[in-house]
Chain A
C-alpha cells in the first residue's frame, strides 16, 4: 500500500507541476499577446488612469484633463477647441487620436520610454510616468486673427516664420470642438456621427490635409524656375506673348481676367497676374526645370511631417506642352496644401531657402525639464538668392499697386501674390481665392512671417480680384498680429 500511496502522491505532484507550468505559460510567455488583445480593456484603463499631458500655445495650455471617476478615468478637455482643432486634433477614448494628439501621444499619455527617470525603470516598477507637455510654435494672436478672418467660411490659413520654419498659425474652417469626442459615452458617438455626416467636413484639416489648385499663386514658382534657368534675363523686357494664348498642340485658347497682358513684361504680367504670359513661360522653361524647382519648393514630397503628416502637394511631371502650360499657372494637376504655398512664400522671403515647417517647439516632462527640442531641420535651396531678391521686389509691387493692395501694412514691407483657382467640371464651381504673402517690419532685418490663405467659397466674380478681396485681408491680419508682437525681436532668436 505504501508504494501505491507514493504513486498517488507522485501523481498529485504532477498535477502541481502542470499548474505551475501552465501559470508560467499564461503569465509570462503568453502575457504580451494577451495584453495586446483588442478585447482587453486594461491598456485603456492604464492609459486614462492619469491626466494627459497638455499642448501649449504661447506658454498656456490649450488642453486639459477632466477626472470622470469612471473606469476610463481622465477625459480630454479643450479650452479653445475649434480654434486649435487643426493643430491638436482630438484624443477620444472611443475613436483614438489625431494630429498632434496622435503624433505626440507617447509623450502626452506618458507611455514614451524617454519620460522614464532611468532606462528600463518603468518595466521594472510597472509604473507609468506622468504625461509630458508639448510646446507648440504657434502664435496665439496670429492663430486667432486667422480664425476670425476666415469667419466660418470654408478655408484655411498657414503661417510660417521664414527663417526657421516654425509654424505660427494653422487654421482650418469650418472647425469643430474636439471635446465632445473625448469621452466614451453615447454623447461621444453622437458627436462623432454628426461630425462625420456634416457636409462641410469640419474634421478635415484643410491647412495641411487638403490640396487645392493653387492658381496664380503658383506663378511665383514658375517665375523662380524661369529666372533660375535663365529663360528670362530682364524682367522689364516685353515677352512675346499673344493674348489669348493658344495652348501648344491644341486649339484651346487661354485668356486673361485683366487687360494689358499681350506682350506684357514679366513685371507687368506678375502684377496683373497674366495667365497667358506665365503659361507660355512655363512651356519655355520646360518640364525638367519646372519639375526641379517645384520639387525644391516641396511639391511631390509625401513625407513631410510637422510632426503629423501633411498631404502631398503635386506637380505633374508627365505632361505634354499644353498640360505644362496649364500646370505652370497652377491648374491641371498642380495641387498644393495651404502649408505648401506658405512654404513658397517663405522661401522667397528667406533668400530662396526652404525651411522644413514644424509645429513642436519642444517637449517637456511634467516637472518642466526639457525632453527634446526641435532640432535643426533640413534646408533646401529652392532658387538662387538673386532670384529670391527679384521675386521679393515683384511680390511687393503686387501689394503696393497690384491685385494685393488690401494686404498692405503701414510700417512694414509686404510682398504677396493673389490667386484664383478654378475647379469643378468646366471650371463651373465657385473658384478658390488664394493669397500668399510675407511681411517684414521696417525695423526688422528679415521677413518675419509668410502666410498662405485659401478661401473656398469666395463670393466675388472670377478673377484675381477675389484672391485680393477675400484672402488678402485675412493674410494681413495674421501678418500684423505677428509683426506687432515680434517687432523687438530678431528673427529666429
Chain B
C-alpha cells in the first residue's frame, strides 16, 4: 500500500491540484492573547465590582496564564504546526474564565479557597497538553495500546469503590489530601479504546452475524466486549451512584458505534439497553429516583416548607441573570451551597454574565466540538476519525449532561463542566482531550499540506 503510494507520488510531478492549507499559527497566537486578556479583564471586573479596586494578583494571574498559554502555543508551533488554530485559544479562554469564576466564588467563601489549587491543576493540565503534543508524534501510536487503555480505564473506574462515599457518590479517591476523580481520566482512555476497537472491528460489526427482522445483530465474539462495557457502565451506575458518568459512557459508545458501522439498529439496541438500565435504576435506587423527582418538581421542597433545594437555587441564579447578567462579582449564586464551584459553576456564569454570556460559553464549547468533528471528517483513516469524533462527542455530551442538569433540562447528574468547574482531574483530562484533538487535527490538515503525505 505505502509502496504503491510512493510510486504514485514519484510518478506525478509536484501536484498543483493539491490545496495548500495556511498554517495560521499567527491567528492562534492572536486569539490566545485575546483569551488571556479577556480572562484578566474578568479577574479585574470581579475586583472592581467587589472592592472598587483591581485585585492585587491581577498582573501575576495574567502573567501566569499568559506564560502557560504561550508555552502551549510554542509546543504546538514546534510539533503540530498544522493543527487547528482555534482549539488551544478556546481551551485557554474557558480555563481562564473558570479560574475567574472560582476566584469570584472564593470571595463568598473565605474559609474555602479553591482558585489557587485550580491554578496549580491548570498548570498541570497545560503541562500534560505540552507533553502530549511533544511526545505523541502520531495519534495512530495509540492503537497499539487498545487493551492497555481499557484495562487501565476499568481499574480507574472501579478504584473509588474502595473509598468512602462523598455526598452520596463514590467517585473520588483521596490520596495525601488530594481528591482525585479517576473516572475523569477513564473517559479519555475509554474513548481511545472504543475508537481503536471499533476501527479494527467495524466490518465485522457491520456485516456479519444474524439478521433478525430488520436488525443486523453481530456475532457473539464481536458483541462480547460491547456487552461487557455496557455491564461495566451499569455497574458504575449502581456501585458508585454516578448517573452522569454512565450516561456519558453510554452516549459516547452509541455515537461511536453508529459512526463506525452506520447501523441505526445499533442505536436502537443501545438506547433500549440504556433505557432499561435507567428505568431499573431510577425505580430501585433512591438516590437516582430523588434526582428525577427533583427534576420534575424543582420547587416541591419549597412548597413543602423545606426551603429551596440546589436545583431551585440554581434556577433562581440563572433567572436573576436575565439577558445581560448582573455583572461579574455581583450575583448571589453562592446560595446553591455545596458544589457551587464545581457542578453548579455554570449558574454563576449564567447569573453574572446573563443569557448573552451563557450563550457565548455554550457556543465556545460548540466551536470546540465542531473543530473536533471537522478534524474527524478531514482524516482518512478510521481510527483517527473515530478518535476525533469520540473526543469531541465526549465534550459535547458532558457539557449537555451537566449544563442541561443545572438548567433543569434533564435530571441533574453530578459532573464537572469541562474547563470551568473546580476539580483537578477534570481540568487535566480536558487539557489531554484538547492535546489529542490538536494532534489529530494536525494530522488531518497536514495531509493537504504537501504532496506525498497521506
Contacts and interface: CB of A to CB of B under 8 A. Distances in A.
Contact of B258 (A8, A18, A39): A8
Interface in B176-199: none
Contacts of A42: 316, 320, 332
A95 interface: no
A12 B312 CA distance: 27
Contact of B322 (A28, A33, A39, A41): A28
A27 B318 contact: yes
Contact of A19 (B316, B319, B326, B404): B404
Given A34-B315, A41-B335, A27 B366 contact: no
Contacts of A32: 319
B404 A1 contact: no
A386 interface: no
B350 interface: yes
Interface stretch (B82-90, B157-165, B393-401): B393-401
A19 B403 contact: yes
Interface residues of A, number: 37
Contacts of A9: 370, 373
A28 B355 contact: yes
Interface in B320-366: 320-324, 326-327, 332, 335, 350, 354-355, 358-359, 362-363, 365-366
A33 to B, nearest CB: 8
B439 interface: no
Interface in B221-245: none
A185 B275 CA distance: 49
Nearest to B335: A41
Given A5-B377, A41-B335, A23 B362 contact: yes
A12 B358 contact: no
Interface string B378-394: 00001001000100110
B451 interface: no
Interface in B62-101: none
Contacts of B335: 41
Contacts of B46: none
Contacts of A6: 377
Contacts of B332: 41-42, 45
A126 B324 contact: yes
B373 to A, nearest CB: 4
B376 interface: yes
Given A5-B377, A5-B389, A37-B299, A27 B308 contact: no
Interface string A126-138: 1000000000000
A22 B404 contact: yes
A22 B324 CA distance: 16
B307 interface: yes
Contacts of B400: 15-16, 18-19
Interface in A27-76: 27-28, 30-35, 37-42, 45
Contacts of B403: 19
Most B C-beta atoms less than 10 A away, residue of A5, A27, A30: A27
B316 A37 contact: yes
Contacts of A45: 332
Contact of A23 (B262, B302, B312, B350): B350
A62 B294 CA distance: 48
Nearest to B363: A16
A27 B409 contact: no
Q: At the interface, is chain B mostly helix, strand, loop or mixed? A: helix
Nearest to A40: B316
A39 B377 contact: no
A40 B393 CA distance: 36
A27 B302 contact: no
B407 A22 contact: yes
Interface residues of B, number: 51
Given A4-B259, A39-B299, A12 B392 contact: yes
Contact of B407 (A16, A19, A33, A41): A19
A425 interface: no
A42 B320 CA distance: 8
Given A5-B385, A37-B299, A23 B355 contact: yes
B369 interface: yes
B392 A39 contact: no
B255 interface: yes
B408 interface: yes
Nearest to B367: A16
Contacts of B315: 26, 30, 34
A27 B358 contact: yes
Nearest to B331: A42
A20 B260 CA distance: 29
Interface in B13-56: none
B409 A16 contact: no
A233 interface: no
A39 B302 contact: yes
B127 to A, nearest CB: 29
B191 to A, nearest CB: 14
A229 to B, nearest CB: 60
A190 interface: no
Contacts of B354: 27
B316 A34 contact: yes
A5 B409 CA distance: 26
B299 A12 contact: no
Contacts of B307: 39
B355 A7 contact: no
A41 B426 CA distance: 32
A2 B379 CA distance: 10
B374 to A, nearest CB: 9
Contacts of A41: 332, 335
Given A1-B385, A4-B260, A23-B350, 4 more contacts: A1-B262, A5-B385, A12-B366, A27-B319
23 contacts: A5-B259, A5-B389, A8-B259, A8-B373, A11-B255, A12-B392, A13-B366, A16-B400, A18-B404, A19-B399, A23-B362, A27-B322, A27-B323, A28-B322, A28-B323, A28-B355, A31-B318, A35-B316, A40-B319, A40-B320, A42-B316, A126-B326, A126-B327
Interface of B: 255, 258-260, 262, 299, 302, 307-308, 312, 315-316, 318-324, 326-327, 332, 335, 350, 354-355, 358-359, 362-363, 365-366, 369-370, 373, 376-377, 382, 385, 389, 392-393, 396-397, 399-400, 403-404, 407-409
The 4 A-B pairs of least Cβ separation, nearest first, read: A34-B319, A31-B319, A39-B308, A27-B355
